[in-house]
Amino acid sequence: MLGGRSFSRLMWLTMGCVIGYGGGGDAAIIPRESPRHGTRSLASSIELSRLVKQSLRAQGAAGASISVVKCDDVVYLRSFGLADVEHKQRVTPRTPFAVASVAKTFIATALMQLYEQEKFGLDDDVNKYLPFSVRNPNYPDTPITFRMLLSHSSGIADNFNLILGRLLWNADPDPRLEGILRAYFDPSGQDYDPSLNFLDLEPGTASSYCNVCYALNAYLIEVLSGETFTDYCNRHVFAPLDIKAGWFLSDFAEAQPPLAAPYYYDPVSGQYYPYGFYNAALVYPAGGFFAIDGVSLTSWLITNINRGELNHRRILKAATMDLMHSMIAPLPGGGGYGLGFEIEDRGDGIYVGKWGSWIGETAHVFYRTADKVGVTLIENGSPWDQGDTGVAAMNDLLIRLFDEGTRR
């Protein structure tokens, strides 16, 4: 099985939402006729396309955008299905999809740019830079550092009562992070809860996935740079790479092609039911809503494979990217976290990248370190909604896509 640990973790991340079922310029990596970026057909491309379509049906996804790369060569870039079922709007490689926690890789990259500028040290106490204190009340004398926040080992917990209670539908969240986070971390704040906002784990000793930590990372970018979080990312991460992405629904109000809608698929009726668009007011930068198109996500994958560089434009030093992609916080069952990235042993090698999944959306962006083969897969549906059948279908598809990249 591929990534069994990650599948289990991701299902846990989406369970809270499953309960609620009642309700830049052109990116530079578009394949072109050239020695490095070709429109070469994959072996058995017709059979592969048939497999993709069968897999998407089994996963309950209305549409998808997929790419396979090897080093910086785009060997496969295709879109399938519908972005909007009601209006029969087809997916294109430029259709933006919500990709949830893939946002964390961009947050980490932006923060590490400031690290390269010597704005902070990875083992600095973040309280040195914040206008409010962040301490685990179970371990008040143990500092929480940047390294801990980036590697999910800070002892901070996601209070899902608050996160799910403040989902926003068809609206943008308040972008002012300081007040939201102060209320969560300050003992006098309205959202402070020592039992639900923190784990009984000493900071730096164990890992537990944390969305609130990445909202705090985003705020630290504001404090250290003097820019708003979104302005900083637009100027220093997206623009240099010609990436089209955004954290707000309003960013895509006039988008053409339009944003892919998230769906739930009912296999009994054969119908797709739209969830509507949503965001998480408490943790929005961490992936409550973050959207990107397939071409831009492929650019991002290549940038990571190339250790911080795309088409001779560098956004991070190679050594910094290597550190981000290295194991910082291992998990007991295998794999673990780097700085903003997940590291998995899938049996045939080590994979570095990020999963993203929430209500009606799924994203996979990983590369295999040994041969630099990578795959992006973004869908407007969730295989976990379809149980073991859906997860197995995604699993098999990813294995096949990596196999195709290996043959190049």
pLDDT band at 203 (very low <50, low <70, confident <90, very high): very high
Q: Angle at CA 118, nearest 5°, toward 114 and 119?
A: 60
309: left (phi over 0), alpha (psi -120 to 50) or beta: beta
Kindly state the percentage of the chain with pLDDT values over 90: 86
Residue 14 has pLDDT above 70, yes or no: no
Cα–Cα distance measured from residue 14 to residue 39, given in angstroms and rounded to the nearest whole number: 37
Q: Return all residues near 265 (Cβ < 8 A) that are at least 6 apart.
A: 60, 61, 62, 271, 272, 273, 381, 385, 386
Confidence (pLDDT) at 44: 60
> 77, 298 in Cβ contact below 8 A?
yes
Amino acid letter, residue 310: L
Give the mean pLDDT of the chain.
Answer: 90
- Domains in the chain (CATH in brackets) are 4-103+229-407 (3.40.710.10), 108-225 (3.40.710.10)
> 225, 233 in Cβ contact below 8 A?
no
**Pick from 26-35, 225-234, 308-317, 389-398: least confident:** 26-35
Cα–Cα distance measured from residue 242 to residue 297, given in angstroms and rounded to the nearest whole number: 11
Confidence (pLDDT) at 139: 98
φ, ψ at 275 (rounded to 5°)? -80, -25
Confidence (pLDDT) at 333: 87
pLDDT band at 408 (very low <50, low <70, confident <90, very high): confident
Give the model confidence (pLDDT) of 238-259 as tens digits: 999 999 999 999 999 999 999 9
- Strand ranges, E, within 171-286: 245-246, 263-266, 271-274, 278-280
71: left (phi over 0), alpha (psi -120 to 50) or beta: left
In Å, how far are 135, 349, 382, 399 from 62, measured between CA atoms? 43, 31, 10, 21
> 219, 230 in Cβ contact below 8 A?
no
What's the rounded mean pLDDT across residues 53-77? 96
> 364, 353 in Cβ contact below 8 A?
yes
Tell me which H or E stretch contains 377.
Answer: strand 373-379
Confidence (pLDDT) at 6: 37
| pTM beyond 0.85 | yes
Kindly state the percentage of the chain with pLDDT values over 70: 89
Residue 27 has pLDDT above 60, yes or no: no
Confidence (pLDDT) at 33: 28
Give the model confidence (pLDDT) of 121-159 as tens digits: 999 999 999 999 999 999 999 999 999 999 999 999 999
**Pick from 26-35, 79-88, 255-264, 337-346: least confident:** 26-35
Cα–Cα distance measured from residue 402 to residue 125, given in angstroms and rounded to the nearest whole number: 40
* Residue located via tokens 């897969």: 377
pLDDT band at 41 (very low <50, low <70, confident <90, very high): low
> 86, 317 in Cβ contact below 8 A?
no
Best CA proximity match to 84, nearest among 68, 95, 100: 95
Tokens read off for 325: 């992609």
Confidence (pLDDT) at 199: 98
Residue 38 has pLDDT above 90, yes or no: no
